[in-house]
């Protein structure tokens, strides 16, 4: 047998291996992972007993949906290749999938965990939506059903708001970058709200909204953002980062805009309350004016004059009553004096058989005399001194 050179042997081994082991699938755990700045990925996969080197070049690596990590159990699709100068062989990977779970699901959980650790989902930093927005920018496809649904709902709910459509690629190659650019552009328009979304589809169709570049644009935006992607059962990374998550694009308009019918009803209630309040205020002021008028009437010049006049009338009445009383007293005295005068009128003493009887210079009655009393008998012309010798008193 002819001896082979080392190079010839390695070349034959390379040809044999590469033609025998084409498009194989190998399951193992990732170790020694190196992601080169060039975009190439170098790693090993191993099981309990063996290890094999692997490489995935940039052209295939850019299609990875999840982040490779040491310790991950993966299934690789690869070809065996031999590096002739060293006689080493390795797996040239064309596709890598997580073992036991889909690559998209794993990528979703990886990015979600990463962004959560960076604080992208914190409720405390979520921006509140304005109650009555004047302008809303909509980042979506101009040809999809989503924009028509949003326009219809907006017109029915609150037609005072201006909608600004920013045509955007929402699936396929380049959609992640286009969505990110549209969000940044919308944020520069000084609108009140940005709605980012699209209609339903497969997880692959919606995948652009699970990208880190879109999440960064949403997080960095100064304008409140509503994520409205797919249907109610679809949850995307954009939903967690946005300030508000809407179940559907139509629901985004319901969240962003007030209902004009509700507002009209509210205005009616406010008008009724205002009317009731004004009525109460006017009634209160009217009562106050009536009380003030009463107080003014009580303290007016006329009232004071009436009061003084009443006092004068009262004093006048009292004066008249006192004068009348005094007059009556004097009249009674005068009448008494007149009566006494009449009783002592000297002209009455001139009547025949009538004399005035005095005892001790005081008038007295005949019935009061006693025997031996010395009395004076007097008329208008004659005065006589007499002594009672005999006195006979008759029983009445």
Q: Distance (Å, rounded) from C-alpha 356 to C-alpha 212?
A: 153
Closest by CA to 107, choosing from 57, 132, 72, 136, is 72
Closest by CA to 229, choosing from 251, 256, 258, is 251
Residue 177 β-bridge partners: none
Q: Distance (Å, rounded) from C-alpha 241 to C-alpha 226?
A: 10
* Strands 162-167 and 135-140, bridge-based pairing: parallel
User: How confident is the prediction along the chain (396 residues), in pLDDT tens digits per residue?
Assistant: 678 778 887 787 777 777 777 788 898 888 889 999 899 999 998 888 888 999 999 999 988 888 888 888 888 999 888 888 887 888 999 998 887 666 677 788 888 989 999 999 999 999 999 999 999 999 999 998 899 999 999 999 998 999 999 999 999 889 999 999 999 999 999 999 999 999 988 888 888 999 999 999 999 999 999 999 988 888 899 999 999 999 999 999 999 999 998 888 999 999 999 999 999 999 999 999 999 888 887 777 777 788 888 889 899 989 889 988 988 998 888 888 888 777 666 665 556 677 888 888 888 888 888 888 898 988 777 888 998 898 887 665
Domains along the chain with CATH numbers: 6-98 (2.40.50.140), 103-261 (3.40.50.10550), 357-387 (no CATH)
Q: What is the pTM of this model?
A: 0.55
């Amino acid at each position: 047998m002819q001896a082979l050179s080392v190079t010839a042997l390695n070349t034959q081994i390379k040809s044999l291996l590469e033609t025998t082991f084409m498009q194989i699938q190998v399951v193992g755990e990732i170790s020694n992972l190196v992601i080169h700045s060039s975009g190439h990925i170098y790693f090993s996969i191993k099981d309990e007993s063996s290890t094999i080197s692997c490489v995935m070049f940039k052209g295939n690596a850019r299609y990875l949906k999840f982040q490779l990590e040491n310790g991950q159990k993966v299934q690789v699709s690869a070809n065996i290749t031999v590096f002739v100068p060293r006689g080493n062989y390795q797996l040239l990977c064309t596709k890598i999938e997580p073992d036991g779970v889909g690559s998209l699901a794993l990528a979703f959980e990886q990015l979600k965990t990463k962004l959560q650790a960076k604080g992208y989902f914190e409720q405390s930093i979520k921006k509140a939506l304005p109650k009555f927005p004047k302008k809303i920018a909509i980042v979506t496809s101009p040809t999809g059903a989503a924009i028509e649904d949003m326009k219809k709902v907006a017109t029915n709910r609150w037609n005072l708001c201006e909608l600004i459509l920013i045509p955007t690629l929402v699936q396929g190659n380049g959609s992640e970058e286009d969505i990110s650019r549209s969000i940044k552009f919308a944020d520069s328009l000084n609108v009140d709200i940005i709605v980012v979304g699209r209609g339903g589809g497969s997880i692959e169709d919606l995948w652009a909204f699970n990208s880190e570049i879109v999440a960064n644009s949403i997080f960095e935006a100064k304008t409140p953002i509503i994520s409205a992607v797919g249907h109610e059962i679809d949850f995307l990374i954009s939903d967690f980062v946005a300030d508000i998550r809407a179940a559907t694009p139509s629901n985004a308009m319901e969240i962003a805009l007030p209902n004009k019918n509700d507002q009209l009803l509210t205005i009616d209630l406010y008008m009724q309350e205002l009317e009731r309040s004004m009525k109460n205020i006017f009634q209160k002021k009217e009562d106050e004016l009536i009380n003030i008028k009463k107080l003014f009437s009580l303290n007016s010049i006329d009232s004071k004059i009436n009061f003084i006049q009443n006092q004068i009338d009262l004093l006048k009445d009292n004066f008249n009553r006192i004068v009348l009383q005094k007059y009556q007293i004097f009249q009674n005295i005068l009448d008494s004096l007149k009566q006494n005068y009449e009783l002592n009128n000297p002209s009455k003493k001139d009547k025949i058989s009538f004399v005035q009887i005095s005892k001790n210079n005081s008038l007295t009655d005949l019935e009061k005399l006693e025997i031996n009393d010395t009395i004076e008998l007097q008329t208008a012309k004659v005065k006589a001194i007499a002594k009672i010798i005999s006195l006979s008193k008759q029983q009445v």
